[in-house]
Amino acid sequence: MDDEDAPLRLGHITYSNCFPVHAGLIDRGPPAGVRITEGVPSYLNGLLDRGEIDVAPCSSIEFARHAGDYRVLPDFVIGSRGPVRSIQFLTRRPPEQLDGCTVAMPTASATSVVLLKVLLRVRWGVQPEFVWFDQATEDPFAAGAEGALFIGDVALRADLFPDVPTRFDLGAEWMAHTGLPFAFAVWQAGGGTDAQLRDLHAALLESRAYGLANRAELARRYAEHFGFSAEFLDRYWADLSYELDEPMLRGLNHFYELAAQIGEIPSQPEIRFVDVAG
């Protein structure tokens, strides 16, 4: 993998939330020496774990599970500073009454699953039973769950189980509970040479700037691809956060602290970064 001529294998999340950072790479094509593989977050998490890709916007909780092997690429995040809209917890009863009930978790996710477990325990004081479901094909409520989590573009659908009365935006709940932003995904490197990662970092800065400068136009051109209106997509992208700044890092560290407290990760990891200064 440290072979000078081997391409850098970059993961891309198929959800619309990832597009603004990768906008330039997708819209104009990746730079020479970068090969893109796409999928849902848990698929990319698995590819990075198995060394089948070198770097990707993986679930932020994954870093804590591989802190000895991965490094975080500075500057980039898929995050929220309050409502995120695309991470929705739907429940048939008030969350404080979910003790011992079945809550279904989407196999596509890793971070939001832990975020919901944290909130259920520390904000709502309950310990449900958890089951997995495929949010692309399965109806967790028909299967008997009292609550279910949805992520990504599936969670943005206007017709998402309208008969389930109570729903929580987990970005908003996290902010209400901690006063902090939330980092759902960070770009994590498990492979690639230092030079490749430095070049990728520069390319991503440009790609994100292109996405920001052309947001409304890109929303028009990609609306049909994602299955939303241009106005909706533009607003959604405008409201998400793509900068891994100090408050976002405080939110991430606090999330790791709480995840460790409820036993989802062995301990709060120290975040190690790729050195992009050279």
Ligand X SMILES: C=C(O[C@@H]1C=C(C(=O)O)C=C[C@H]1O)C(=O)O
Q: Which residues lie near ligand X (CB under 6 A)?
A: 13, 15, 17, 41, 59, 78, 84, 86-87, 109-112, 151-152, 184-185
CA–CA separation, 23 vs 30, rounded Å? 10
Question: What single string gives the DSSP state of each residue in 238-252?
Answer: HHSEEE--HHHHHHH
- Minimum distance of ligand X from residue 87's CB (angstroms): 5
What is each CA distance from 226 to 49, 141, 149, 229, in whole angstroms? 28, 25, 20, 9
- Minimum distance of ligand X from residue 96's CB (angstroms): 23
Q: Which is nearer to ligand X, 71 or 199 (CB)?
A: 71
- Minimum distance of ligand X from residue 29's CB (angstroms): 22
Q: Which is nearer to ligand X, 145 or 186 (CB)?
A: 186
Q: Which is nearer to ligand X, 111 or 188 (CB)?
A: 111
CA–CA separation, 109 vs 44, rounded Å? 10
CA–CA separation, 165 vs 94, rounded Å? 9
Strand partners, 11: 37
SS3 content of the chain, % helix, strand, coil (to 5): 40, 25, 35
- Minimum distance of ligand X from residue 18's CB (angstroms): 6
- Minimum distance of ligand X from residue 264's CB (angstroms): 12
Q: Which is nearer to ligand X, 175 or 199 (CB)?
A: 175
Report the C-alpha dihedral over residues 115, 12, 42, 276, rounded to 10 degrees.
Answer: -60
Q: Which is nearer to ligand X, 15 or 210 (CB)?
A: 15
